[in-house]
Amino acid sequence: MSADAGPGSGALVLFSGGQDSTTTLAWALDRFERVETLGFDYGQRHRIELDCRVKVRAAMAALNPAWAAKLGEDHTLALDALGAVSDTALTRDVAIEMTEGGLPNTFVPGRNIIFLTFAAALAYRRGLKHIVGGMCETDFSGYPDCRDDTIKALQVALNLGMDRRFVLETPLMWIDKAETWRLAERLGGRALVDLIVEDTHTCYLGERGPRHLWGHGCGTCPACELRAEGFARYEAARVSE
Ligand code: ZN
């Protein structure tokens, strides 16, 4: 959009290779003139997610020439210290499992605060104004660092602490998983929906698993259940239209 054109109007997208961050990347490519991506490697067992990143980026560029022209560098930052403060690392005899709040016990408290802070440091160096993340309050109320208030407070802290005017963008904040599928269709047509189904990875357990209608994954962890349930509602709404 012309209002966003010009120096310093580029965006840095937190891109994990999952459904949400892929939809978020499409949103940014639709909106900004230059888009770079950032992934974090912190020894998670979701190596499969990191492997998906390269494939998804290439597929999105192939999908739309305008997106290919805007898609800039991909960055990966190693944050090994995050793995060191996960529950499973602190107590090595604990298996990875879901906690009562529906979070895997590998979850690191405040993880997104750390991610966004590193993203801002990188955006500062790269001259990018917008920092875009797939945080969502609607489905993941268990993650306090995904809440809108957390993101807004962090934006203020980062702008004060770095003397910049970063804008933290969270296009998925108030929509649910069915609406996230619909947003993908609106941005990239059915081809983008198909790409997300086939190539992205969301499963908490890092399982590629069989190909379900909604994509790959174990099918039973909370992330797979959300994705499957959202896809079913998205498809049902399409049929009834
Ligand atoms: Zn799963």
Task: Give me the mean pLDDT over the 55-74 stretch.
Answer: 97
For ligand 1, the distance from its centroid to the CA atom of residue 227, given in whole angstroms, is 9
Task: Provide, rounded to the nearest whole percent, the portion of the chain with pLDDT above 70.
Answer: 86
Count Cβ atoms below 10 Å from residue 190 Cβ, excluding itself. 10
Query: Is the predicted pLDDT of residue 44 greater than 70, yes or no?
Result: no
For ligand 1, the distance from its centroid to the CA atom of residue 104, given in whole angstroms, is 11
What's the pLDDT band for 2 if we cut at 50, 70, 90? very low
For ligand 1, the distance from its centroid to the CA atom of residue 183, given in whole angstroms, is 22
Looking at per-residue pLDDT, the higher value among 44 and 113 belongs to: 113
pLDDT at 213: 95
CA dist 161 and 36 (Å) reads 23
The tens digit of pLDDT for each residue in 188-220 reads 999 999 999 999 988 887 788 899 999 999 998
Task: Give me the mean pLDDT over the 127-150 stretch.
Answer: 87
pTM of this structure: 0.91
For ligand 1, the distance from its centroid to the CA atom of residue 237, given in whole angstroms, is 24
For ligand 1, the distance from its centroid to the CA atom of residue 49, given in whole angstroms, is 12
- Does the domain at 11-177 match CATH 3.40.50.720? Answer given as no
The token pair at 68 is 């290919």
First to last CA, the chain: 30
pLDDT at 156: 98
Place of tokens 């996960």: 86
For ligand 1, the distance from its centroid to the CA atom of residue 47, given in whole angstroms, is 14
pLDDT at 3: 44
pLDDT at 108: 82
**Beta strands across the sheet bearing 130-132:** 71-78, 35-41, 11-14, 130-132, 167-169
CA dist 52 and 80 (Å) reads 20
For ligand 1, the distance from its centroid to the CA atom of residue 113, given in whole angstroms, is 24
- Mean pLDDT of the chain, nearest integer: 89
Looking at per-residue pLDDT, the higher value among 1 and 42 belongs to: 42
